[in-house]
Amino acid sequence: MDYLKIFAPATVANVSCGFDSLGFAVDEIGDEMTFTKTTEKGVKITNITGANLTYDVDENAASAVVKKILNEANADFGIELTIHKGFSPGSGLGSSAASAAGAAFGANQLLGNIYSDLELTKFAMFGEEVACGTPIADNVSAAIYGGFVLVRSYSPLEIIKLPVPSELRVVAIHPQVEVKTKDAREVLPTEIALKDAVTQWANVGGLISGLYSDNYNLISNSLVDIIVEPHRKKLIPFFDDVKNAATKAGALGAGISGSGPTIFALCKGDKIANEVYKSIEESYKNTGIDFEMFISKVNHEGIKILE
């Protein structure tokens, strides 16, 4: 293989109660990337569209990952890379993760598929560190594995792929405001009460149990975040209005995607998802803030080859 084009999906991380440990991939939006094998060693970005990103090989999350994986494999070839961003950086939908995960996947294909999904996740985490300063695994693992994932451990890294109920849908709104990951982390408490920790652990367990048993009521009852959301929602204008509109329209639950500002709502079935979409849209249209929305199934396969 000397060339391929891939789709790397956007992802929702944290999923309310699962801060830095739960995530899932979406079908509707993502990045498209191409990889061309070259006789000259090294990495070169030849084109970036859809966002204003650096062409510096060591500072771009995608090219930094490609460089690292080629060096690790002692490859006797190089790669030319193009990136089309299908959604905005800073949206809370794993923009840098899509680039980093897509880069690891694409480079691995040209190497003959020598690395496992777990190893690709580790490479992609390096890209997250380049982009954000922290090697977080929730977004990149969701993009690579597809579906819902649990980051059970970082040391050693252990990723568990979780089942996805067939009728599960996500509705998301991306208000056109900026929430920096650094700021979103700085507002978090450094200590929490034991009773709050117990409640949060129980919700994570309940959510995972609901996914395994197709129990939408249990999923709904477990989509509660009492630790992170109360602090971060202050950074997102009209968050409570969106959440209330979603739940009143029948959503299982709603929360902050990643560090925001995107707000996601999980729903059972297309009919309710469409009602939730309309309700959220109605709640936000007179705020004076531009926004984008989408409805999507959960992406089961993760990154996929387009050509």
DSSP string across 120-169: HHHHHHHHHHHHHSS---HHHHHHHH-SEEEEEEETTEEEEEEP--TTEE
pLDDT at 183 over 90: no
**Catalytic amino acids?**
128, 181
Question: Average of pLDDT values for 83-96?
Answer: 91
pLDDT in tens, 121-179: 999 999 999 988 889 999 999 999 999 999 999 999 999 999 999 999 999 999 999 88
- Section 209-237 average pLDDT: 96
Query: Above 90 in pLDDT, residue 65?
Result: yes
Positions of CATH 3.30.230.10 in the chain:
3-162
pLDDT (tens digit per residue) in 9-31: 999 999 999 999 999 999 989 99
How far is C-alpha 234 from the chain's CA centre?
A: 21
Say if residue 181's pLDDT is above 90: no
CATH for 3-162 is: 3.30.230.10
What lies within 8 Å, CB to CB, of 66 at 6+ separation is 35, 43, 79, 81, 103, 106, 107
- pLDDT, one tens digit per residue, over 196-220 is 999 999 999 999 999 999 999 999 9
Q: Provide the pLDDT for residue 88.
A: 85
Q: At 149, which amino acid appears?
A: V
Q: Are strands 42-49 and 22-38 parallel, antiparallel or unpaired?
A: unpaired
Domain boundaries for CATH 3.30.70.890 within the chain: 168-297
CATH 3.30.70.890 fits 168-297, yes or no: yes
What is the model's pLDDT at position 180? 77
How many residues comprise the chain?
Answer: 307
pLDDT of residue 239: 96
Q: State pTM to two decimals.
A: 0.94
Per-residue pLDDT at 132: 84
Averaged confidence pLDDT in the chain: 95
pLDDT reading at 1 higher than 90: no
